[in-house]
Amino acid sequence: EAQVTQNPRYLITVTGKKLTVTCSQNMNHEYMSWYRQDPGLGLRQIYYSMNVEVTDKGDVPEGYKVSRKEKRNFPLILESPSPNQTSLYFCASSLYALGGGAGQPQHFGDGTRLSIL
């Protein structure tokens, strides 16, 4: 089944304790991205990747890191989490990069609810 898989689905942790949220897709998609969803703010992009070893900042990259060493995986890293990073996080992927007239739908994972105390 074609899907985007995120882990963990839920995590409660404390300020300053490094964490990684994994994201994997099995559709051979080139483009992957991370969003955070907060009430009244919609989905805001954190980072995106157009292909292996190519990553770029989205709207709200502060406090996050990403890497794209393999096509299928795009982990989100919080080196020193803070309470303002408590949010619902979604990973998404699409076949190709979104710009240059190639706009296409993104497929979303089931989300990771992160609480940082």
Among 58, 65, 72, 77, which residue sits at the site for other proteins (rule: CB under 8 A)? Answer: 58
The region of 15-23, 62-70, 71-79, 96-104 touching other proteins under the rule CB under 8 A is: 96-104
- In this structure, are residues 61 and 36 in contact, taking their beta carbons and an 8 Å threshold? no
Give the integer Cα–Cα distance in Å for 53 and 51. Answer: 6
Q: Which region among 15-23, 65-73, 78-86, 104-112 touches other proteins (by CB under 8 A)?
A: 104-112
Task: List residues binding other proteins (CB under 8 A).
Answer: 31, 33, 35, 40-45, 48, 50, 56, 58-59, 90, 97-101, 103-106, 108-111
